[in-house]
Amino acid sequence: MFERLDRSRTDVVLIVDDVPDNLSLLHDALDDEGYTVLVATHGEAALQRASQAVPDIILLDAIMPGMDGFEVARRLKAQPETSHIPIIFMTGLSETEHVVAAFAAGSVDYVVKPIRPREVMARIAAHMQSARQARQARNALDAFGHASITVRVSDGRVLWQTPLARKLLQAYFDTPEAVAPLELAAWLAHAVPALAKGMAEGRAPVSAPVWAVNQAGSRLSFTLHQPTGEDEWLLVMQESSDQAAMDALSQEFKLTAREGEVLYWVVKGKTNRDIGDILGSSPATVKKQLEHIFAKLGVETRTAAAGLAMSRVSQLKVR
């Protein structure tokens, strides 16, 4: 089984070119700069190497026999595991339509042949820093089990997602894995321009924008965090549920499980009769349980109990 490369000491560059002299020239230049270098001589090999090794950046020849570079780029961008990788096209075609085609296929930059190694190194260095920061952020999120995704706002494509995020998206939405739900994409189209404008003007938002969806007693929220590239934004997802909130209340205030349930429904604005119907008990029993809850919280009214609960338990804050 192929093992992913250790990035602790080096960045990985994949060169895709069908001309041996070009491969040799670039390989030597990149090796001298301390990069780990992978090579592919045709489109299918490029897709395979990229999927296996997930390089930090790809130098991609535009014109190759069989599958050309434009098609390779489109396929890489269509796959969640490789869609985030920056692509620099190498081409002898400097006409406007070819440059436009390169960017339309998902590239971040291009260089014109004949290759000038110093220029290529400068362009790689410029894009590698942002790629490295994005990779470190993704690794940290993966390590701590956060549910996070990166979405390209212009077309709603999911460029990257943690395993937990993939699981939650599949549970809440009936959409393809690489595409953001329509409702989320529409919210991003509205929220991102306003947030980006404020950040550009040095105005930090009071709180990060949040969008959420409810499903059968559970809630999935998306918090808009920061751009990870041009037109690409990181969102952190959090799932909460009635039961999770009840458990949190019980733990926070040292309540019994039933007292946690009662307090939860008090926060929801339910009357004693409503709560009794929900929990299968009498209003008198609910009243007695509330007296115990008030004593443990050090409050005297339903309003005070609900306010304290909402201020102390995060599952109840975003509703």
Return phi, psi of residue 42, to 5°: -155, 170
The per-residue pLDDT for range 105-153, each reduced to its tens digit, is 888 888 888 888 899 999 898 888 777 776 666 665 555 556 888 999 9
Residue 1 has pLDDT above 50, yes or no: no
Omega before 114 cis (within 30°)?
A: yes
Residue 7 has pLDDT above 80, yes or no: no
Span 195-206, average pLDDT: 79
Span 266-289, average pLDDT: 93
Q: How do beta strands 210-215 and 232-241 pair?
A: unpaired
pLDDT of residue 319: 42
**Which alpha helices (DSSP H) does 56-95 contain, by range?**
69-78
Span 215-234, average pLDDT: 85
pLDDT of residue 178: 83
The per-residue pLDDT for range 61-110, each reduced to its tens digit, is 988 989 999 999 999 988 877 888 899 998 887 677 778 888 888 888 88
Residue 279 and residue 68: Cα distance in Å, rounded?
Answer: 64
Q: Is 42 exposed, middle or buried (0-12, 13-18, 19+ CB in 10 A)?
A: middle
Q: Where are the domains of the chain?
A: 12-140, 145-240, 254-316
User: Rounded to the nearest 5 degrees, what angle is found at the Cα of 203, between the Cα atoms of 199 and 200?
Assistant: 30
The SS3 call for residue 223 is strand
Task: Report the CATH fold assignment for 254-316.
Answer: Arc Repressor Mutant, subunit A (1.10.10)
The per-residue pLDDT for range 145-199, each reduced to its tens digit, is 568 889 999 999 998 888 788 888 988 998 887 889 999 999 999 999 988 888 8
Q: Give the CA count within 13 Å in the CB-facing half-sphere of 193.
A: 6
pLDDT of residue 13: 93
Residue 289 amino acid letter: Q
Which pTM was predicted?
Answer: 0.49
Residue 7 and residue 56: Cα distance in Å, rounded?
Answer: 9
pLDDT of residue 196: 84
Residue among 109, 56, 51, 104 at smallest CA distance from 82: 51
Q: What percent of the chain has pLDDT over 90?
A: 42
List b or e across 184-209, with b for residues whose CB sees 16 or more CB atoms inside 10 angstroms.
bbebbeebbeebeeeeeeeeeeeeeb
Are 160 and 76 in contact, with CB atoms under 8 Å apart?
A: no
Task: Report the CATH fold assignment for 145-240.
Answer: Beta-Lactamase (3.30.450)
The SS3 call for residue 85 is coil
Q: Is 266 exposed, middle or buried (0-12, 13-18, 19+ CB in 10 A)?
A: buried
Residue 319 and residue 303: Cα distance in Å, rounded?
Answer: 17
255 Cβ partners below 8 Å, 6+ apart? 249, 263, 293, 296
- For tokens 């004949």, name the residue: 114
The per-residue pLDDT for range 240-259, each reduced to its tens digit, is 777 778 888 888 899 998 99
At the second CATH level, the architecture of 12-140 is 3-Layer(aba) Sandwich (3.40)
Q: What residues does 232 pair with on adjacent strands?
A: 152, 229
Higher pLDDT, 59 or 313: 59
Radius of gyration of the chain from Cα atoms?
26
Span 298-302, average pLDDT: 94
